[in-house]
Amino acid sequence: MVVIVDDAESVASSLALAFENIPGVKPVITHHPMAALRLFRAPNSDIAAIVTDLNLPHLNGFELIREIRNLDNYHNLPAIMITADESAARTARSKECAPNAIFRKPCSMREVCRALEELLQ
């Protein structure tokens, strides 16, 4: 399962549609970081990666990644961030909150899919 966290319905839906073409990937959309955290904290959760926006309500994407990677089973969770913020790449400094890849909106779904496939290998 790959969790997509984006409060923009069109972006989340486009990502989910693109990810359905990756063998073995089941995309799950949530529009709020707290809902995403509930998925990761659920008993027997089996999440392989997260794709998140930077600007989210209550927690930003970096904070969300940090919170998830602080959970026992997700210290090395692959994370991709998609953002319109040009300074995002300079903002993430620590391993706990740094995504494995950052894409600027608008981004190529093909490139995001390629990055996700590489991270899941």
Number of structural domains the chain divides into = 1
Measured in degrees and rounded to the nearest 5, phi and psi for residue 101 equal -150, 145
At 116, the pLDDT band (50, 70, 90 cuts) reads very high
Q: Can you give the residue range of the structural domain that contains 88?
A: 2-120
Share of the chain above pLDDT 70, in %: 91
Residues 27-64 pLDDT 10s: 999 999 999 999 999 998 889 999 999 988 888 999 99
**Nearest 5°: phi and psi at 118?**
-65, -40
